[in-house]
Amino acid sequence: MEYITDVMVIEGKHATISAPAGYVTIPLDVNKGAGGRFIYICYKKGTGQERIIDLKVATASSYFTKDFATEAGYTSTNIDLNDGAGGEYIYLYYKKGTKGEYDTDGITDMLLVTGKNAFAPAGYDRLSVDLNRGAGGKYIYLCYRYYQQMPSADLRNWMGQVDDNRSIANISIPGSHDSAMWLTNMESTANILDSAAQTQYLNLENQFDVGVRSFDLRVYWSDSLDATALAHSTNIKVGYAGSYSNILFQDAFQRLVNKLKEHPTEFIIMLISVEQDMSASQAGKYKKEVDAILKTYRDYIFIDKGEEHMDRSNSDLLPILREIRGKIFIVSDAVDKGSLSGGYDNDPWRVRYKRDGTRIEYHKGDSQHEKCITMEKTFCEPYNGGGKTRFDQFTSAIQARNTYTEGKMGRFGANKDWNPPKHNNSNTPRQWSLETNPQILKYLQEHSELTRAALVAFDFIGFKESKNLAQEIVKVNPKLRAYQFSDRLPDTEQVRNLRYKGNTLYPGQSLRQGEYLASLNRKFIAAMKGDGNFVVYNSERSLWSSNTALCQHRLRAL
């Protein structure tokens, strides 16, 4: 694979300025609309061991300053991106390495997007600083694609194997803690805070792909971005002052909606909390943005239809899977922060929109409110379907320690006879995950009698020693344990030159020539061969063929 091995900035009096040999120029003047000199960002690709592992933008008013950049080991491209246009100084910095800090593989692509609060394209992350900041002109943002090595077990459609009539309280669900704080997607007010605030390795889409279905998103209102953004914490009293994600909340919401469009058998739990006090003006803007999100994505947000005749099994307050597939189940703890104080009825997330645009407001005490907003009774009730339940939700060693030493169970707790693993008072999420995650993984692998693990959220899920953690939680669901998920894609002669498409073909999707499906246990393969023949294999031989070789075909699900 080719990685970006060098980055530079070039400038001149004319738009025809050329990059040095071997460099690719991103075809957009970063001073566009602001006057000043013509300035372009260029990069070089290669297959060597050394590559770019991180990019940052330093300005006079941002948290990442020139002094901070030098201290953290970054190299400047040495040209002010606002040169000749006024405004703040803006410098692009990069860090090189043979691999990323956590064995990530490096940056493979870069591009620029324009427009106020423009989203990054699918698969890209976006730096939060407008490259024309303070100079007028177009809003311009730098985006990059970071290659992340993924576990190969296919968990994108695991809920498709769960019974439609199962209450969501009786499903074992992997989650991520502080989901937006992955390695290459954050800035901090001090160098030391980076390691204290990084909680994930995989980005949101890749977290979904390894099986995560509960996402913890911490929001705040950003005056500089004029939008709701994401953070680990912006309150110095909490201890992680100023650790910020580079993606906007609306971008994160859209990314997760896109995953549900691709995988309609799944549903997502979205835990939303506000990380800092808001002024009256900020709260007003925040509520307006929330309302727009609720209206825009109303087809993908769960609204209880009041089907009280349904057997909800574990709780009469909760939906069953059939009601919630393809939806986001919003859980809001977004009140009592500055001008959002006033309790539940001041929470903008209590609103829902029906498909026809009808607005619904839930109020404290409504049965609908309990079904759609809170999780106080979602994962804390014992599973009544028989079997063993021995797990608790915790997101870090601190919470695990408190649970262990004080004998407390979290509100998602399942059974009091489960003792979370001990730890050695580590002080970063990465160290916590190194201590606790392998113990939990071992426990799950050794206790095949478990039938429910509740909602379990982790730091660094899907990474290195935790790469199979989500898979083991998913396998606690009784029907899924029998699938014996394989960590490897088939490597047989029949599919060696074909592209893996997943394990399920949904209505409207196609299997094209050169693509194949594989069962979760990898024992069965359905391949649309390059010659147009559709063949079903087991691990040893061909079981069936359409005998359509030398024809142009594709298989389409109806």
Q: Sorting pLDDT into bands at 50, 70 and 90, what band is 380?
A: very low
Q: Sorting pLDDT into bands at 50, 70 and 90, what band is 100?
A: low
CB-CB contact of 392 with 454 (8 Å): yes
Is residue 408 scored above 70 in pLDDT? no
Helix (H, G, I), strand (E, B) or coil at 147: strand
Give all strands (DSSP E) within 242-400, no chain letters. Answer: 243-248, 268-274, 328-333, 351-353, 359-361, 388-389
Q: Classify domain 499-556 by CATH architecture.
A: Orthogonal Prism (2.90)
pLDDT for the residue numbered 391: 37
Of these ranges, 98-107, 235-244, 373-382, the one predicted with the greatest mean pLDDT is: 98-107
CB-CB contact of 101 with 464 (8 Å): no
CB atoms within 10 A of CB 262: 16
Q: Sorting pLDDT into bands at 50, 70 and 90, what band is 396?
A: very low
Domains of the chain, by residue range, sit at: 3-147, 158-481, 499-556
CB atoms within 10 A of CB 446: 9
Q: Classify domain 3-147 by CATH architecture.
A: Aligned Prism (2.100)
Is residue 194 scored above 70 in pLDDT? no
pLDDT for the residue numbered 6: 94
* Segment 525-529 mean pLDDT: 87
Q: Which long-range contacts (CB under 8 A, 24 or more apart) does 123-129 make?
A: 123/205, 125/184, 125/185, 125/203, 125/246, 125/247, 126/246, 126/247, 126/251, 127/55, 127/56, 127/57, 127/246, 128/187, 128/225, 128/229, 128/244, 128/246, 129/57, 129/59, 129/62, 129/90
Pick from 105-119, 259-273, 537-551: least confident: 537-551
Residue 332 makes CB contacts below 8 A (sequence gap 6+) with 272, 273, 347, 349, 350, 373
CB-CB contact of 389 with 454 (8 Å): yes
Q: In what order do the strands lie in the sheet with 3-12?
A: 3-12, 38-46, 24-25
Angle at 127 between CA 121 and CA 132, to 5 degrees: 105
pLDDT for the residue numbered 404: 32
Give pLDDT tens digits for 318-377: 678 888 999 998 888 766 666 777 666 778 888 888 888 888 887 665 544 444 334 434
Q: Sorting pLDDT into bands at 50, 70 and 90, what band is 312?
A: very low
Cα end-to-end distance, the chain, whole Å: 37
Q: Which residue has the tokens 């089907």?
A: 307
Which structure tokens are listed for 244? 């910020």
CB atoms within 10 A of CB 257: 20
* Segment 154-166 mean pLDDT: 85
Give pLDDT tens digits for 479-503: 777 666 655 666 677 777 787 777 7
pLDDT for the residue numbered 252: 94
pLDDT for the residue numbered 343: 65
Q: Sorting pLDDT into bands at 50, 70 and 90, what band is 532?
A: confident
Average pLDDT, the chain: 77
User: Burial, 460: exposed, middle or buried (Cβ in 10 Å; 0-12, 13-18, 19+)?
Assistant: buried
Q: Sorting pLDDT into bands at 50, 70 and 90, what band is 314?
A: very low
pLDDT for the residue numbered 377: 40
Q: Classify domain 158-481 by CATH architecture.
A: Alpha-Beta Barrel (3.20)
Question: Fold match between 158-481 and 499-556?
Answer: no
* Segment 40-56 mean pLDDT: 90
Q: Sorting pLDDT into bands at 50, 70 and 90, what band is 311?
A: very low
Question: What is the Cα–Cα distance from 203 to 299, expressed in whole angstroms?
Answer: 24
pLDDT for the residue numbered 266: 94
Is residue 379 scored above 50 in pLDDT? no
pLDDT for the residue numbered 140: 93
